[in-house]
Amino acid sequence: MSGNHDHSGEHHPEPLSYAEARTKAIESLLIEKGLLSTDAIDARVQAYEQDIGPLNGARVVARAWTDDEYRKRLLKDGTSAIGEMGFFGAQGAEIVVLENTPDVHNVVVCTLCSCYPWPVLGLPPRWYKSDAYRARAVIEPRAVLKEFGLNLDESVEVRVWDSNSDIRYMVLPERPDGTDDLCEDDLVKLVTRDSMIGVAKVKSTAAAM
């Protein structure tokens, strides 16, 4: 479900909304007139999916790792604590932050559509919106996590959280070992979008190299 692998099976796309259809039509027109390239569009979408958008969430996570009082506020009232860092959204949804521990691993999904905490994670990745992920993450979460390369011990409890129009979930991943000497800015660089959805763990600097 990640990378270049297609795990969607026989996926039948849902009808586009008016806004999506209009956007696609404008995009096609710009490409046809040579004013925009598909490569440029793909690069920009990828940037907002994987780099620019999730950077806000990474800053929230790094702050929670280095400031225990902030971590407590974040887990008690995610929307308010995230707002302290200047990250707000016009979506009108509450953001609940779920803490991963050695005993509990949280995974986020939206079974109805693709509800997602935009202020901290940016654009939802394509696989998050797929029928396969939306269905299987609830039914067989461990199998799905293995496809992402995450093998959890059987003793670890896996909790799946279903986002909706009122509540969006974000995972506070475990801080990796060997990072005690890193400052907040360095920790930000380790945090990935997938770890804040719960389909991956954060790697230490040594493991990431």
Q: What is the pLDDT of residues 52-67, one digit of tens each?
A: 569 999 999 999 999 9
Share of the chain above pLDDT 90, in %: 63
Position 123 scores a pLDDT of 84
**Residues 6 or more apart in contact with residue 132 via CB below 8 angstroms:** 1, 7, 8, 9, 11
Give the tens place of pLDDT for each residue, 123-136. Answer: 889 899 999 999 99
Position 12 scores a pLDDT of 41
- Residues belonging to the active site: 110, 113-115
Long-range contacts of 178-185 (CB under 8 A, 24+ apart): 178/204, 178/205, 178/206, 179/204, 179/205, 183/66, 184/62, 184/63, 184/65, 184/66, 185/62
Statement: the pTM of the whole predicted model exceeds 0.85: no
**Residues 6 or more apart in contact with residue 106 via CB below 8 angstroms:** 98, 99, 100, 158, 159, 160, 161, 169, 171, 198
